Every structure is written in C-alpha cells, then in structure tokens.
C-alpha cells in the first residue's frame, strides 16, 4: 500500500513554493525537567518561544492561544486591535521537539520500542506514550502561539508516518509542506508509531529532523539543548572540552577542527570516550553529521541563551564569532 503513497519514501527532495529556512529541534532536556515526571521547564520554554518569534516573524504579531488554562476560570484575552489588512509575515521554520520527561516513563515501562502490539502491556504503553507526548506537544504549541507564532501541532502517527525494522519507511511530508506554504509553523515530535516488521516502535525527533532535512533542504538546522554544545566527554566531568567546530567529510567520518587538538591520539581518545558514554554524544554527532553531509550547517547550542538567539537568527552562517559558544557541524571544505 505504502509504495503508492505520494512522497512516501525517504529519497528525493520535494519542491516547495519557497525553500525551508530552518529546522529547530527543541531538545527534551532543554524544555522539560528531565528528572521530574512530565514537568515542563516553563522559564526556558518561554524564552525559547520568544527567541523563535524574533527569528521567524517579521513585523507585528498577536497572541494566538485563546484558550482557558485547565482549572482557571479566566476568559482568554484576544487582541481587539487586529488590523484587517495586516498580513503575518514569517520565515519558514519547522519545529521538532523531543520528549524529555514526557513519554519516556510510559515507553520504557511497556517496551514500546521493542514492538509486540499483540501484548496488552505494549498496546497500553503505546496509548499511554502517545497521550504523554501529545500533551507536551499541545503545551509547546500553546507557548509558541501565545508568543504570536502560527504554530500547528502535527503528530507523526496522525501524519501516517511509520517504520519498518525501526527505520522510517512511510513519511509523507505533503501535509507539512502545505502547512508551511500557507504560512504556518509545523510542530512535530518524537512519537510512538506503527512498524511493519515488529508492530510498533518509537520514532525519535532526531530521525524526524534528518528526514525533513533530506526532503526540504533547509538553510540550517539548530539543536537547542541543555549544555553549551557537544563535549569530548560528559560535560559534568572535569576537563570536559567543548568541541566548537566539527567537519564532516563525504564518507560521513568527522574530525574536530576547533579547538585544535594536540595530537592524533587525542582525537582517538574523543572517539573512545564518545563510545563509552550512553551513546548520547555519538548519536548526536552522527545524526548531525548526516545532515551536515547534505551541505546543511548544524548548530548545537544551549537553549535560552544569547548563543541560541544568534544561531536561530542565522547569524553564524557567514562566520562564527569568537565569543559564540556552541558546536558547529558542517561539511568539510
């Protein structure tokens, strides 16, 4: 059935009316408190929303969340100074967020990533995971809308995306493209999806971003996280060094350009240290390298800082100022 689907495969770029400007990943660790079940980091989310608005919207805008808060009797206020002629002008962004402390508990409790929908526990966990991640999605859409960003929540499951052997197999982006072309900002998220070989699995936000980058070729991609960037070892360790610039070659291998490493053994050490961690760093670099290989610059930067503001605005594309802290991953020249 899937092979007849329009734009259903992972190959080939799709032509849009105007090219996509940027894909932003809101890392789970940046917008939630990772160790507190289903708790949003509201301060960070508000700053991130404000920075996104400044990067996206040209000219005036109004709040677009006109809903009551649960438990509050307050009627939402709607601006009454809407100019009939006013057209909202926004750059084309796609936002993808991780799950952080949402979804993880439900998914790991039931083993959704391992599949087996015929088991009642897995089926229940699938439902519970989707409830958790879609509730986070709704809160992020609301935060962005409150700021004046025309955000539209779109769940990969509802978009009909699915996997085969845990790799993305059906992922029609035509609805994302239509939303972009009509001036909306799609907000996608890591989700529980159907898998044609094992029944179901978890589709991560990073895989979604790679697929969208391949298909829509944005000018650049920004990963907002809770540390300054990618380090040579877990950033909590003493002597951890921020890797400021990583070059990716055509064959997918990568090397650190900045800071300049003393000798070759140090470079090897990094690779080993990376493998020694729980996979966080190496996975992050690998996913980013796949995007950089396409010629798309990737910035990994701490959310809600001046550094993230500059990355989101695209100010790093010509040159990286010396006082900017973060990790740039790009194609070797």
User: Annotated binding site: which residue ranges?
Assistant: 99-100, 104, 205, 226, 280, 284
Rounded to whole angstroms, the Cα distance separating 233 from 251 reads 24
* Tokens read off for 39: 């708790």
Distance of CA 90 to the CA centre of its chain: 19
CB of residue 19 to a second copy, shortest distance in Å: 18
Q: Which is nearer to a second copy, 172 or 269 (CB)?
A: 172
Interface with a second copy in residues 135-194 (CB under 8 A): 135, 138, 141-142, 145, 150-155, 157-160, 162, 172, 174-175, 178-179, 182-184, 194
- Among 19, 42, 66, 275, the residue binding a second copy under the rule CB under 8 A is 66
Q: Which residues contact 308 (CB under 8 A, 6 or more apart)?
A: 48, 51, 222, 224, 301, 302, 326
CB of residue 114 to a second copy, shortest distance in Å: 13
DSSP state of 114: G
Closest CA to 91 of 318, 312, 325: 312
Strands (DSSP E) along the chain, which ranges? 22-26, 57-58, 89-90, 93-97, 151-153, 162-164, 167-170, 185-189, 191-195, 199-203, 220-225, 230-231, 242-243, 245-248, 254-258, 297-302, 327-331
Rounded to whole angstroms, the Cα distance separating 36 from 28 reads 12
CB of residue 226 to a second copy, shortest distance in Å: 21
Backbone torsions φ then ψ of 316, nearest 5 degrees: -95, 0
Stretch that binds a second copy, among 47-55, 124-132, 234-242, 254-262 (CB under 8 A): 124-132
83 binds a second copy (CB under 8 A): yes
Beta pairing class for 191-195 and 230-231? unpaired
239 binds a second copy (CB under 8 A): no
Give the per-residue contact string, 194-213, with a second copy (x = CB under 8 A; - = no): x----xx-------------
Rounded to whole angstroms, the Cα distance separating 193 from 201 reads 6
Stretch that binds a second copy, among 66-74, 208-216, 228-236, 312-320 (CB under 8 A): 66-74
Q: Count CA atoms closer than 13 A to 4's CA, side-chain side.
A: 1
The count of chain residues that interact with a second copy, using the rule CB under 8 A, is 70
CB atoms within 10 A of CB 95: 26
CB of residue 107 to a second copy, shortest distance in Å: 10
62 binds a second copy (CB under 8 A): yes
65 binds a second copy (CB under 8 A): yes
Rounded to whole angstroms, the Cα distance separating 291 from 295 reads 7
* Tokens read off for 101: 């402390």
Give the per-residue contact string, 10-29, with a second copy (x = CB under 8 A; - = no): --------------------
Binding-site members for ATP are 100, 205, 226, 280, 284
Q: Which is nearer to a second copy, 132 or 327 (CB)?
A: 132
What angle (nearest 5°) sits at the alpha carbon of residue 220, between those of residues 319 and 88? Answer: 110
Stretch that binds a second copy, among 111-119, 202-210, 223-231, 239-247 (CB under 8 A): 111-119
CB of residue 133 to a second copy, shortest distance in Å: 10
CB of residue 84 to a second copy, shortest distance in Å: 7
Instruction: Give the residues lining the site for a second copy (CB under 8 A).
Output: 1, 4-6, 37-38, 61-68, 70-71, 75, 78, 82-88, 105-106, 109, 117-121, 123-128, 130-132, 134-135, 138, 141-142, 145, 150-155, 157-160, 162, 172, 174-175, 178-179, 182-184, 194, 199-200
């Amino acid at each position: 059935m899937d092979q007849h689907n329009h734009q259903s495969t992972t190959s080939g770029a799709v032509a849009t009316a105007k090219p996509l400007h940027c894909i932003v990943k809101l890392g789970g660790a940046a917008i939630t408190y990772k160790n507190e079940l289903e708790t949003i980091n509201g301060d960070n989310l508000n700053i991130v929303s404000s920075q996104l608005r400044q990067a996206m919207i040209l000219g005036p805008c109004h709040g677009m969340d006109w809903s009551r808060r649960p438990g509050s009797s307050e009627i939402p206020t709607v601006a009454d100074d809407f100019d009939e002629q006013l057209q909202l002008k926004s750059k084309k962004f796609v936002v993808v967020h991780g799950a952080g402390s949402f979804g993880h508990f439900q998914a790991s409790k039931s083993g959704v990533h391992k599949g087996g929908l015929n088991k009642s526990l897995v089926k229940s966990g699938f439902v519970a995971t989707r409830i958790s991640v879609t509730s986070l999605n709704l809160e992020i859409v609301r935060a962005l809308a409150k700021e004046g960003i025309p955000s539209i929540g779109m769940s990969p499951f509802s978009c009909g995306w699915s996997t085969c052997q845990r790799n993305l197999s059906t992922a029609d982006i035509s609805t994302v493209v239509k939303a972009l072309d009509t001036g909306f900002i799609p907000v996608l998220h890591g989700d529980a999806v159907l898998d044609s070989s094992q029944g179901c699995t978890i589709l991560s936000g990073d895989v979604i971003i790679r697929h969208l980058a391949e298909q829509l070729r944005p000018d650049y991609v920004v990963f907002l996280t809770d540390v300054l960037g990618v380090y040579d070892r877990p950033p909590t360790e003493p002597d951890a060094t921020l890797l400021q610039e990583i070059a990716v070659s055509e064959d997918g291998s990568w090397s650190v350009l900045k800071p300049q490493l003393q000798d070759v053994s140090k470079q090897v050490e990094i690779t080993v240290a990376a493998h020694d961690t729980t996979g966080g760093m190496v996975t992050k670099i690998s996913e980013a390298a796949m995007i950089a290989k396409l010629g798309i610059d990737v910035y990994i930067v701490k959310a809600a800082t001046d550094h993230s503001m500059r990355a989101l605005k695209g100010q790093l594309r010509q040159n990286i100022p010396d006082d900017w802290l973060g990790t740039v991953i790009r194609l070797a020249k």
